[in-house]
Amino acid sequence: MTTLSFDTSKLSSFVNEGELEMMQPMVNMADSLLREGTGAGSDYTDWIKLPTEYDHDEFARIQAAAKKIASDSKVLVVIGIGGSYLGARAAVDFLNDYFNSAYSDADRTAPQIIFAGNNISGQYLNSIIKLIGDRDFSVNVISKSGTTTEPAIAFRVFKQMLEKKYGVEAAKERIYATTDSKRGALKTLADEEGYEEFVVPDGVGGRFSVLTAVGLLPIAAAGGDIEQLMAGAAQAQADYADADLMKNEAYQYAAYRNILYRKGYTTELLVNYEPTLVQFGEWWKQLQGESEGKDGKGIFPATGNFSTDLHSFGQYIQEGRRNLFETLVRVTEPVTDVTIPTMDADDGLGYLQGETMSYVNRMASDGTLLAHVDGGVPNMVVEIEKQDAYHLGYMIYFFEIAVGISGYLNGINPFNQPGVEAYKKNMFGLLGKPGYESLTEELRARL
């Protein structure tokens, strides 16, 4: 098979013949807005050519920093929230064994990667501190501004820990700052303290930043092959450059999503059958939801981790409101496999003994797909051949270029996120942040 295949054969009951072809003129316009930089939010579309037009010098520094972290640290604490951590976490999980994070240091081939600053839970932060214990650790703090509350709190805590453990000067050698190239609180601090710095590019929004230093340093530190990751994305960049829907499966995905949305299918479930793909779904949720959920429009992104979730909300998918469609992401070749033992046991598994679990999993996914289609749920399938860095890079680009087209098809700016600031303003007001005094009084009165 090709690097990635996109199967829409189970849409025939939901999309009439010729509907995709009718989308071509609109796709042409969306492609023009995206590629020519004439669409809303065009200042944040540098990710389109990023796989082939990235900073190679910085890339080499990322690889060198990852080697240094591996040489002097058992743990790397990656501090960030939203696009500053979701892509890296998805890739680290995708490229490693499911319980890799629980391995002992002796069994680990790379530092343990721990993600912090993605919530405001003291319990969570204390759990990380206990997990680090007396082991050597480093910190990668990721923030374009340096003032986002969640990562700023976590960085203050771990910076203090580093200074107490190693001393102020030695601690600076263990802090890696990924931030704006020119301005911001973190940039200023990094310059003053002499931290090694990496750049969050101006033209790449957070949810598209996994193929920048934002994602590449944690991925490389975890032992991921970032050269292959970029190679896969570069191949996808080449493969998805044609606006012709018959030649561009990423654009087909965008078009079919919009066709289904206009028919009342307003929730998309990204479905997987491998626990190491769960965090990929979390990255995808931000990519889709933050890009398209605005102006009272947009497909609601949700995830299904099967077969686990078939025993919880599978009933709803099968027979609930018919506003759902599914996109199944699966891998052809399993990373490892287990053969079901042959034995004399009255457990009802005689018909499966000698089969592999990957075979059973495949039949479960095929059977579920057919059942859901029969129940009125449209299904599409995105399938990659292998679960490795090359195929991950390719699939990341597939979904990124698709959401850019999809957003323009729906008449919105796919590259801003004005609604994200609303909760922050209220939080600052309730916390009594200077400059929010009038809002503080107003909100406290409402509470």
Delimit the domains of the chain by residue range.
4-40+230-411, 48-226
In CATH terms, the superfamily for domain 48-226 is Glucose-6-phosphate isomerase like protein; domain 1 (3.40.50.10490)
Q: Which residues pair with 270 in a beta bridge?
A: 303, 327
**Cα radius of gyration rounded to whole Å, the chain:** 23
CA distance 319 to 94: 32
Residues with catalytic function: 290, 424
Q: pTM for the full model?
A: 0.95
User: Would the CATH topology of 4-40+230-411 be identical to that of 48-226?
Assistant: yes
CA distance 422 to 108: 42
Quick one: DSSP state of residue 299?
A: P
Strand ranges of the sheet holding 379-384, from the earlier edge strand across to the other edge: 4-7, 379-384, 324-331, 267-272, 300-305
CA distance 381 to 73: 40
Q: CATH code for 4-40+230-411?
A: 3.40.50.10490
Quick one: DSSP state of residue 243?
A: -
264: Cβ contacts below 8 Å, ≥ 6 apart: 322, 323
Per-residue pLDDT at 1: 56
pLDDT by 10s per residue, the chain, length 447: 589 999 999 999 999 989 999 999 999 999 999 999 999 999 999 999 999 999 999 999 999 999 999 999 999 999 999 999 999 999 999 999 999 878 888 888 899 999 999 999 999 999 999 999 999 999 999 999 888 999 999 999 999 999 999 999 999 999 999 999 999 999 999 999 999 999 999 999 999 999 999 999 999 999 999 999 999 999 999 999 999 999 999 999 999 999 999 999 999 999 999 999 999 999 999 999 999 999 999 999 999 999 999 999 999 999 999 999 999 999 999 999 999 999 988 888 889 999 999 999 999 999 999 999 999 999 999 999 999 999 999 999 999 999 999 999 999 999 998 877 777 888 887 888 888 888 888 888 888
Beta-strand pair 300-305/267-272: parallel
CA distance 429 to 55: 40
Quick one: DSSP state of residue 340?
A: P
Per-residue pLDDT at 423: 79
In the chain, the amino acid numbered 337 is D
CA distance 277 to 95: 9
